[in-house]
Chains A and B, each alone.
Chain A
Amino acid sequence: MSNNPNTSTHYVAPLEETPLVAIDAVNVGERKSNLWIDAWRDMRRRPMFWISAAIILLVLIVAFFPTLFTQVPPNDDCQLSNSNGGPTGEHILGFTKQGCDVFSRLIHGTSTSLSVGLIVTVLTTVLGILFGAFAGFYGGWLDSVLSRAGDIFFSIPYILAAVVIMSVFSAYRNVFVISLAIGIFAWPATARVLRAEILRVKQSDYVMAARALGVSNFKILLRHVLPNSIAPVIVVTTISLGAAIVAEATLSFLGVGLPNSTMSWGNDISAAQIDLRTAPQTLIYPSLALSITVLAFIMMGEVIRDALDPKARAQR
């Protein structure tokens, strides 16, 4: 807002300067305006989009093809004589406490950490949107049922859930199970945030207008309410991606994480805790990898949020 409201600026132009006919004219030949297409057009013009997309792509390539980046085996040939050692030759980031290669573990751990982050995020977002949208938009008894269901899930301490889930599925301690353990009890936060935003948005004039035009309830929710309420969900979601990867580290710290044979940033962060004072570098590298990944997703979320918001678009 650069306008200075104290000087007298014309906000309503004199009638002779506003050709009403031209404004009210409808160009039938123009391409159909669609929220998602508009958003895409807007996004691809932004450098931030391309930067974050490039980082995410790189992380994905690392996750799928780790051997392109390192030839050093991550878990074999760990010699205690190298414990917490500095960089040498092909071991560019040095060694962990067990004498394994830090860089190689980082590269090979990418797929696990990224999977945990993505699966948890998808799980919480899908469940959160489903529960939040219906509860907020339809209200009444549906709201009560859905919201209270969320309360039940949210009241269960996720550490208890994790201990139980990891124990019951002890034979299958893998990425999916741990993602389930983290995600299944985290979605009510997303749901409640979305519900609150929908409560607000559904009172807007354009929703009233759509209703007056006889648009069906479900269509209003899908076309008008949801896109306009999604901003906080995007914020929560992009950050929860990082939070999920870190939650895996905390679960490892508490002893209910992935087995150590599964490499992950979380496992390495948790293992590094013991040497925080003597060898902080073993903690810093996986944390850095995590930060960069989360940063890319936050930037991407930012771009998408801006692009979805027509008012923010119009400003430029």
Chain B
Amino acid sequence: MNKRRYGVGAIALIAASALALAGCASGSSTTTSGDSAAVISVNGSEPQNPLVPTNTNETGGGKILDSLFAGLVYYDATGAVQNDVADSITTDDAQTYTIKIKSGQKFSDGEDLTAKNFVDTWNYGANAANTQLNQSWFNIIEGFDEKNPVESLSGLKVVDDTTFTVTLTEPLSDFPIRLGYSAYYPLPEKAFEDMEAYGQNPIGNGPYKFASDTAWAHNEKLDLVVNDTYDGGRKAQNGGVTYKFYSSEDAAYADLLGGNLDVLDSVPASAYANFQSDLGDRAVNQPAAIFQSFTIPTNLAHFSGDEGKLRRAALSMAINRDEITDVIFEGTRTPASDFTSPVIDGWSDSLEGADVLKYNPDEAKKLWAQADAISPWSGSFQIGYNSDSSHQVWVDAVSNSIKNVLGIDASGAPYPTFAEFRTAVTGKTITTAFRTGWQADYPGLYNFLQPLYQTGASSNDGDYSSADFDAQLQKGATATDTGAANDEFSKAQDILLKDLPAIPLWYSNVTGGYGESVSNVQFGWNSQPLYYEITKS
């Protein structure tokens, strides 16, 4: 339900079959003839908030917004950034950006879309008085204040109908990559009159629009049809998309097998062993931008200083990632070799020190014994997790692996609800290690590193702090060249691999499938199918 709560699954063997079928037809050209009026049905979940881009931070609503709206840029199947509404995004210093949009842009009701729409929407989302869940996405813009209401950010200026400028608080090389995230989508002027009503029946500028004023049948489905006023790179090849809302992945999978659903973007754990044989070449299992780990907070006894470093490395080497991803996940996870994801530009599986992520029982025992020499181990090692989602099976497997190698007592520590788990983690009251997962919001290495490990960052739940790492990260963030930036980020990761604030486990693959009547199904970097490309006969 929640965006980062359920990792969807899958593996590094790029599902050759799926890509071979769909890959030959990437882009907007189609080789398979489809009925251009056919509506495809896809799985979804009831949005947890009204459908307002600045107030939606979970996948259920997020993937609907991606169909309803077009941002300045979008991400193609490979995760590369393509202009959508934007004509050009330019900067000299990575701090002040000039954004030009294409002329003649319209919302689905015919209203003109101008630079002002972007500036108004961003001001709305950033304004503390509006309590938008995505407020923090605007905190990089000059003039942002998280506490006090600010009507208009000093960093946003409309130049003319098709041009506006953005001034950031500090240089940020990956700002253009971020702009494809849903928080930055433009709202029409009438939305601001009554945001609550707008959220139930939103008007967007994307490839699809609501089929009718009452298209959203709460908890059941949402019908979208093609929006003819859209003229970007994501032109729909079908007649529409119907999101069927499911509360369990099992139900959605049964519907796919039963022929009641065309496209599924997440296979349930109970079908990991069977879905490739159930679906044949219609099964999808490829890496995605989801990184999973467990974090050992620095305040945990025995896990700080030199002793801590030894124990962290020992634990990491005691986990047989290959076996667990193979047996427990049936190959729907890919063992981690860094702190990011293979689908992100700049990812590397040969970082200096990545050996610590390889199963090595002898070395693990040796390091653990060295740590014992500093201060003898006592107690048991526990990994906290929320038991309202299917984490128990892998936590148990990881615990057993540690137990078998190091000969210490290890087990899972379940929390009944996600809310309770997160409260213990963010309140720093948790007294064990705990599971951590990260699904990237935009395809950039920085998004995997800064929020999680920078000193004092918002999601640095383990309270990791390293001046060296912070400095290295900053070098990457301010580099104007992407390649250079990625080199700096890799060096930052080298530090992480020595300190192991979190123990990387694996990358979740996207596991999905589709029915016999649809073709051209491709999954994007964010584990979502590119709905607009799908054709149905």
Contact = CB atoms under 8 A, between A and B. Distances in A.
Interface stretch (A35-43, A47-55, A79-87, A219-227): A79-87
A231 to B, nearest CB: 39
Nearest to A258: B414
Scoring B387, B403, B411, B420 by chain A CB atoms within 10 A of each residue's CB, the highest score goes to B387
A170 to B, nearest CB: 7
Contact of A166 (B273, B389, B416): B416
A99 B388 CA distance: 23
Scoring B323, B327, B401 by chain A CB atoms within 10 A of each residue's CB, the highest score goes to B327
A204 to B, nearest CB: 49
A311 interface: no
Nearest to B269: A274
Interface string B420-440: 100000000000000000000
B417 A98 contact: no
A255 B389 contact: yes
Nearest to A164: B416
Contacts of A276: 270
Interface string A240-278: 000000000000001110011100000000010111111
20 contacts: A80-B324, A80-B328, A80-B397, A80-B400, A80-B401, A81-B323, A83-B328, A97-B327, A97-B328, A166-B416, A167-B416, A170-B416, A255-B387, A256-B387, A256-B416, A259-B411, A259-B412, A260-B414, A277-B270, A277-B271
Please give me the 4 A-B residue pairs with the lowest Cβ-Cβ distance, nearest first.
Answer: A255-B387, A255-B388, A278-B273, A256-B416
A163 interface: yes
A260 B274 contact: no
Contacts of A81: 323, 327
Contacts of A97: 327-328, 393
Given A76-B403, A276-B270, A255 B396 contact: no
A30 interface: no
Interface residues of B, number: 31
Given A98-B396, A274-B269, A83 B327 contact: yes
A36 to B, nearest CB: 44
Interface string B268-280: 0111011000000
Contacts of B292: none
Given A97-B328, A274-B269, A274-B270, A77 B404 contact: yes
Contacts of B420: 167
Contacts of A80: 320, 323-324, 327-328, 397, 400-401
A166 B413 CA distance: 13
Interface string B490-506: 00000000000000000
Contacts of B320: 80
Contact of A261 (B270, B411, B417): B411
B392 interface: yes
B274 A278 contact: yes
Given A163-B416, A278-B273, 4 more contacts: A80-B400, A275-B270, A277-B273, A277-B274
B400 A98 contact: yes
A78 interface: yes
Interface string A75-117: 0111111010000000000000111000000000000000000
A166 B387 CA distance: 12
Nearest to B412: A260
A260 B417 contact: no
Nearest to B272: A274
Nearest to A162: B416
Interface string A131-153: 00000000000000000000000
Contacts of B246: none
A76 B405 CA distance: 12
B6 interface: no
Nearest to B391: A255
B198 interface: no
B415 interface: yes
B387 A99 contact: no
A255 B416 contact: yes
Contacts of A273: 270
A163 B400 contact: no
A99 B400 contact: yes
Interface string B193-213: 000000000000000000000
Contacts of B390: 274
Given A81-B323, A98-B397, A277-B273, A254 B388 contact: yes
A78 B402 CA distance: 11
